[in-house]
């Protein structure tokens, strides 16, 4: 989902969590400030659904659980306290049906939007890397084919995949998936290209 509006009055994490339980609009929380989540595009929603379905089917019967959009992940360390809503994520954390928060995600996936891409690639990505359980982070562009992957196991080296027939290996859950499979419900026209200012970036 997309973060857009900030409420400037700092609040505690406990106040935030209580508000989220009863509010109609979801928010993210970073160090006492809350950000309202804007609505997502149809493409954004379809991409989330496609990757959620692929991962859930792959993991069915195993110890991992997959969540989409409505469950928060927590970052709490000496530097920051934050709660985010990833688009899709995977955890091995024991089930707790009463909780709306996961503290040990292992795979985090975000579908990028123009209004939030800068933050997603910057502060939010840096914060996700600080969660000890996170093994892998994936960014998915929705307006052209591009999958960005970083992994703790190789010191967060960037891997970028832009060709639809390339295989992306999500090592944290041992899933191999074509780039085109991220976009099953929202295929691109044949002439789609990355913006000119990104064409110098090499595939992973």
CATH number for position 69:
3.90.1570.10
- How high is the pLDDT of residue 62? 94
Percent of all residues in the chain with a pLDDT value above 70, rounded to a whole number: 91
- Is residue 11 one of the residues assigned to a domain? no
Please give the tally of structural domains in the chain.
Answer: 1
Structural domain span for residue 93: 40-198
- The token pair at 15 is 């106040």
- Is residue 1 one of the residues assigned to a domain? no
Q: Is the pLDDT of residue 88 over 60?
A: yes
- Is residue 112 one of the residues assigned to a domain? yes
Burial environment of residue 157 by CB neighbours within 10 A (0 to 12, 13 to 18, 19 or more): exposed
- Is residue 33 one of the residues assigned to a domain? no
- Is residue 35 one of the residues assigned to a domain? no
Q: Beta-carbon neighbour count of residue 59 at 10 Å?
A: 17
DSSP letter string, 2-70: EEEEEE-S---HHHHHHHHHH-SS-EEEETTEEEEEEPPPHHHHHHHHHHHHHHHHHHTTSS-EEEESS
How many residues appear in the chain? 204
- Interstrand relation of 2-7 and 33-38 (parallel, antiparallel or unpaired): antiparallel
- Is residue 155 one of the residues assigned to a domain? yes
Give the predicted TM-score (pTM) of the model. Answer: 0.89
pLDDT tens digit string along 147-171? 999 999 999 999 999 999 999 999 9
3-state secondary structure of 44: helix
- Is residue 2 one of the residues assigned to a domain? no
- How high is the pLDDT of residue 22? 86
- Is residue 34 one of the residues assigned to a domain? no
């Amino acid at each position: 989902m997309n973060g857009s509006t900030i409420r400037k009055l700092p609040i505690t994490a406990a106040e935030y969590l209580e508000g989220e339980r009863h509010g109609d609009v979801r928010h993210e929380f970073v160090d006492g400030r809350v950000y309202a989540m804007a609505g997502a595009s149809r493409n954004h929603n379809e991409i989330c659904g496609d990757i959620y379905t692929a991962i859930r089917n792959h993991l069915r019967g195993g110890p991992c659980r997959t969540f989409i959009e409505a469950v928060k992940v927590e970052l709490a360390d000496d530097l920051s306290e934050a709660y985010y809503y990833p688009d899709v994520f995977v955890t091995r954390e024991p089930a707790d049906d009463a909780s709306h928060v996961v503290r040990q995600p292992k795979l985090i996936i975000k579908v990028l939007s123009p209004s939030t891409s800068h933050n997603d690639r910057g502060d939010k990505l840096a914060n996700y890397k600080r969660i000890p359980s996170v093994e892998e982070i994936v960014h998915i562009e929705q307006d052209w084919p591009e999958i960005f992957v970083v992994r703790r196991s190789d010191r967060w080296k960037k891997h970028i995949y832009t060709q639809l027939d390339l295989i992306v290996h999500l090592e944290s859950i041992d899933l191999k998936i074509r780039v085109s499979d991220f976009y099953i419900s929202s295929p691109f026209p044949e002439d789609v290209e990355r913006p000119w200012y990104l064409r110098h970036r090499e595939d992973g």
